[in-house]
Amino acid sequence: MKEALVFEERAGRIVVPSQTLATIVSVAVERGGARVRRYPRRSVAFELGAEPPRVQVGIVASAGTVLPELAARVQSSVHEALELMCEMRELIVDVTVEEIA
């Protein structure tokens, strides 16, 4: 995950590193009712050069959770957070339930 979101402004360049984007996504996933799978690695990936940009996130769901509803909440939460904080309006958010805890 080496990509960064770069905004070219008249006054200069604004760079949002991938680690910052991953933190935004992680907080949004938690707000959606799940958590990002962290082991053996954090399960967040970005394709910022794609049109539209794509975010892929692997989540851990609680046992007994209705998975399609949880995934839809997480998608919505991640999309809203990135749109609000990074002005990423056209965005694809792929959610994979990687673990049940």
Domain count, the chain: 1
- Residue 62 belongs to domain spanning: 4-100
User: Is residue 34 left, alpha or beta, with left meaning phi > 0 and alpha meaning psi from -120 to 50?
Assistant: beta
52-99 pLDDT, tens digit per residue, is 999 999 999 999 999 999 999 999 999 999 999 999 999 999 999 999
The CATH number of the domain holding residue 64 is 3.30.70.1350
The span from the CA of 101 to the CA of 8, in Å, is 42
1-30 pLDDT, tens digit per residue, is 567 888 888 999 999 999 999 999 999 999
